[in-house]
Amino acid sequence: MKGFLRGLLLSVLLGIALTFAGCSGGGGGGDDDINPPDATAPTVVVQPLPMPGPYAVACTNVAQSFNPEWDEEDVKSYWEGTGHYVTELLTDPDNTLIARVTAPLDTELYGSFAGEEVDFVVIACYPTTADNAYSNYPLPTGDVVPHMQTGSDPPLFADASARYPVVAFSHGFGDSPISSSAYFTAMSAFASNGYVVIAPFHGDFRFSDLNIDNLGDVISLVENQEDFTALQALRPLAVSAALDLVLTHPQWQGHIDETKIGGFGASMGSETMLLLAGAGLTTSYFDIGDSWKQVTRDTRIKAAVGYVPYFGQPILPAFGHDQDGLEGINMSFLGISGTADTVAPMSEVEIGMSRLTGTRELVALSGVEHGFDLASTNDIFTWALLFLDAELRGNLATKTQLSTMGSVAGGGDDSVVIFYNGL
């Protein structure tokens, strides 16, 4: 038995090693089987949407106390859960959004965290008035939280009588919503275009400190798979709890359209979105994904966008063997993948998206690796905003536009791999 497991582990390592070497990355080639046989590739080039959008952006209270001797990485260790958590820095926790999750008593999914209560700090950003007098809140990284509420300040909406659609936001593995300028760009793109953005600090490293794109950690990953599975399984529960918290909060009730909730996930955040839709999560690496299990299903989330979406590696798919855990998932989903991404290979995204039964579309960014591609900023958020407008707001004109849209003018080199099927 030990010899068999050792041999299997070596095969796992070999598969991941080939992935890191670039042999499994790149643009799929499976689109001929996914798109209808008589379908013509869309070719219309559209102009990018203005970034940011027409509204100023404000955010909720995340006031913190920073040691002046800390460097940027010291601060991020709290935001990201490395030996600490952001709750230890909060100076006004009573006026900070904090969601609490009790992990279900399921050791297969939650390992040693089964039954435990876990807190998740939440930041919400929203469209505000042009004359909002709340100050920007500077962070040690050089970024600022725009027009941040302090104390018991209420949110100041651009239109106090409006009910705004929602984007549930899930950052990448080991990050936080405020760890990089790219996340502020993303949250601002949605909030400035009329969405309330709700983003938990997942604090991934509280559950597993493994780096999924580091080959030297693979053996440790296999030996400690329960913690890594728990990390992934807790993420969608945190998003649902964050939605519950904001939707029932006295300051937010009456300002949110609960029938129009979508999502945006970066890397593992994209996996989180699909787990929220009811996808099955791989629970064992020793049988190469044959074991998978549904984590949750939050029917409030109607559509989601995944940037460099993480569907696992060829030898270790995220949603079971051959991505079978995605079979029949009908949440509308737009994937935006990099053709040179070896951490979240586009080939796995194509396989997974072929299992989805709802509206779907996959856009390829030529030559883009894993991470935020600055040159493609307008491409990424033009695709994302149009897709959410079509699928959440039901804009028929936008649906028609997506059915013929082949790329966004300027920026990076973007093209459609799986054609929009929402008409």
Q: What CATH number corresponds to the domain at position 169?
A: 3.40.50.1820
Would you give per-residue pLDDT tens digits along the chain (423 residues)? 333 333 334 334 444 444 443 443 344 444 447 899 988 999 999 999 999 999 999 999 999 999 999 999 999 999 999 999 999 999 999 999 999 999 999 999 999 999 999 999 999 999 999 999 999 999 999 999 999 999 999 999 999 999 999 999 999 999 999 999 999 999 999 999 999 999 999 999 999 876 555 445 555 666 667 888 999 999 999 999 999 999 999 999 999 999 999 999 999 999 999 999 999 999 987 776 688 999 999 999 999 999 999 999 888 899 999 999 999 999 999 999 999 999 999 999 999 999 999 999 999 999 999 999 999 999 999 999 999 999 999 999 999 999 999 999 999 999 999 999 998
Domain presence at residue 15: yes
In-domain check, residue 395:
yes
366 inside domain: yes
Between the CA of residue 168 and those of 172, 190, 199, 272, 307, what are the distances in Å?
13, 10, 6, 10, 14
Nearest to 90, CA basis, from 170, 132, 155, 148: 148
Residues in Cβ contact with 46 at an 8 Å cutoff, skipping those fewer than 6 apart: 382, 401, 405, 407, 408, 409
pTM of the prediction? 0.91
Asked if residue 372 is part of any domain, the answer here is: yes
* pLDDT in the model for residue 322: 92
Q: Are 315 and 11 in contact (CB under 8 A)?
A: yes
d(CA 363, CA 418): 7
Query: DSSP letters of 305-318?
Result: EEES---B-SSSBT
Cα dihedral sign for 382, 32, 339, 13?
positive
Closest listed residue to residue 281, CA positions, set 234, 217, 232: 232
235 domain residue, yes or no: yes
Separation CA 380–CA 305 (nearest Å): 10
Phi-psi region of 99 (alpha: psi -120 to 50; beta: other; left: phi over 0): beta
Spatial separation of the C-alpha atoms in residues 86 and 76, rounded to whole Å: 9
**Cα–Cα distance measured from residue 413 to residue 367, given in angstroms and rounded to the nearest whole number:** 8
How many CA atoms does the CB half-sphere of 165 hold within 13 Å?
23
The candidate with the shortest Cα–Cα distance to 366, out of 376, 381, 354, 353, is: 376
Q: How far is residue 338's CA from residue 191's CA, in Å, rounded to a whole number?
A: 25
Distance of alpha carbon 130 from alpha carbon 128, whole angstroms = 7
DSSP H helices, 261-345, are: 268-276
**pLDDT given at position 210:** 64
Q: Which of 389, 385, 370, 382 is nearest to 406 (CA)?
A: 382
Q: Which residues contact 285 (CB under 8 A, 6 or more apart)?
A: 12, 221, 222, 225, 316
Q: How far apart are CA 267 and CA 270, in angstroms?
A: 5
Task: Specify the pLDDT at position 361.
Answer: 98
SS3 assignment, position 43: coil
Using alpha carbons, select from 237, 203, 199, 226 the residue that is nearest to residue 100: 237
Give the span between the Cα atoms of 412 and 308, in whole angstroms.
14
For residue 227, the enclosing domain spans 2-418
Tell me the C-alpha distance between 174 and 139, whole Å.
Answer: 19
Q: What's the number of CA atoms in the CB half-sphere (13 Å) around residue 210?
A: 22
Domains of the chain: total:
1
Q: Where are the alpha helices (DSSP H) in 106-224?
A: 107-110, 181-191, 218-223
Q: What are the beta bridge partners of residue 305? A: 264, 334
423: in domain: no
What pLDDT does residue 314 have? 86
Tokens of residue 225, six digits: 């798979």
